[in-house]
With several copies, the nearest count.
Chain A
């Protein structure tokens, strides 16, 4: 994984998020405050704009700059959570020596653990954790079981989608949607949807 790879993925994510913007906006209007799509779009744009600044940096420094940009540029729950994800990934040991598939999964999993600590939410609380945690587990399990890279990636995409869809019928206990009680049922969580789209984009792009 290189800095160039990160920027490329950000650009691909931007296309996908923009294409699904109306849907994501509506999800946060229904059970949140409607800003999630703008937060995410702003974050992606800021990361892409970092390209000239970070393109020649070691990956740990580049990831750290991305993390800081995400953290300071997004705001809201998703800013803190995505910021935590990248900050943790940037701190992964010895990543400047190269990030292979295994290392990438390791630091992603560490990032997700940190996000879990930050948000104090677990699977089943109708948040992005319903996507992030199962995906992290699926990737780790794939490695452990020595599965084929492509197989792992295909599974991850499916797990992300399943997690995202699972939020629909959940009662929210974390995040803004928790204020709605029963009324949040029947709506997919916006952060779960945006995370799932990002994971899908990256996995499918790597696996091609």
Chain B
């Protein structure tokens, strides 16, 4: 394993310290328990948005704390969900009285830890559970689908509503709506390596890819030979479209997300290939996002997310945002 680190134990802390120092105009970092807040306090009456999850998906979520997005983020150890005390401490810091909305990716660990935090809290709170990964069969008897890159979009769009005075219930409803209207799927060319493990989570042959991979290096739908970008893109998109069923001429947001080890050039190439397919199907790309936002350490790979848009979503997507990883309009 080659990583810029001093020890697996200090990896997270030193990275957080660097993040906090590099962006002290936007965020403040707290330790034991670890959480990140905006550098300025929550406005009175504004619903506080808190997300969190295992570390290793940066810039999600710490890089999404700031005006127009999250009020706080709770980073767990690498790929381990955070613990209730983190959510409680973060809530205490950022709840201005209007309540707390937790944005949680659908993994047992995240769900249970956030649930326990919610049960221990005194103030009003609600949760949005993201489960956009269409690689996984959905069923009400199981854990269901995984929450992946659409979480970034939920945080942006709900963040805008919260900023403009939406109530806790309105924010929750909008978050659920974005999630329902989103579908994602990813593919990996290489594994990630958890610092504490020191070796790759899985092994891929020199010509293999993991199709439908999870953002923790969990195996996906199947292992396959590497194909051309257009073939991969088509298969990812077909799976998402089959799930989302966008209408003819419907506006969508196309989000090409890198897993951490894939250069931008390739993400834009995927964007081009995706556009070719979507154009052919009369699905209109009204908004776009391309970059490494919901990563899996240094994994080489990418995911595509489609979100069906309406005017409400577009308005909240376009509104000003000022975080370390996403910034526009201010």
Contacts and interface: CB of A to CB of B under 8 A. Distances in A.
Answer yes or no: A and B touching, Cβ < 8 Å: yes
Interface of A: 25, 29, 31-35, 38-39, 42, 68, 71-81, 83-84, 118-119, 172-176, 178-181, 183
B83 A34 contact: no
A174 B108 CA distance: 7
B143 A175 contact: yes
B52 to A, nearest CB: 10
Contacts of B141: 173
B137 A181 contact: yes
Given A118-B112, A173-B142, A176-B107, A76 B76 contact: yes
A79 B83 contact: yes
A35 B196 contact: yes
Contacts, number: 125
A147 B133 CA distance: 50
B116 interface: yes
Given A174-B108, A181-B136, 4 more contacts: A34-B201, A76-B76, A118-B115, A179-B135
Contacts of A29: 197, 201-202
A72 B112 CA distance: 13
B218 A176 contact: yes
B43 to A, nearest CB: 30
Contacts of A81: 112
User: Chain B's interface: helix, strand, loop or mixed, by majority?
Assistant: loop
A35 B217 contact: no
Nearest to B112: A80
B324 interface: no
A81 B33 CA distance: 19
Nearest to A118: B112
Nearest to B89: A72
Interface of B: 33, 54, 76-86, 107-109, 112-113, 115-116, 133, 135-137, 139, 141-143, 145-146, 194, 196-197, 201-202, 214, 216-219
Nearest to B82: A75
Contacts of A172: 142
A75 B202 contact: no
A128 to B, nearest CB: 11
Given A35-B194, A83-B116, A176-B108, A71 B84 contact: yes
Contacts of B76: 75-76
Given A38-B77, A173-B143, A180-B219, A119 B108 contact: yes
A27 to B, nearest CB: 12
B80 A183 contact: no
Nearest to B222: A183
B214 A179 contact: yes
A119 B86 CA distance: 20
Contacts of A42: 77
A24 to B, nearest CB: 12
B201 A77 contact: no
A42 B112 CA distance: 19
A76 B54 contact: yes
B116 A183 contact: no
A42 B80 CA distance: 12
Contacts of B82: 75
Contact of A180 (B83, B145, B218): B218
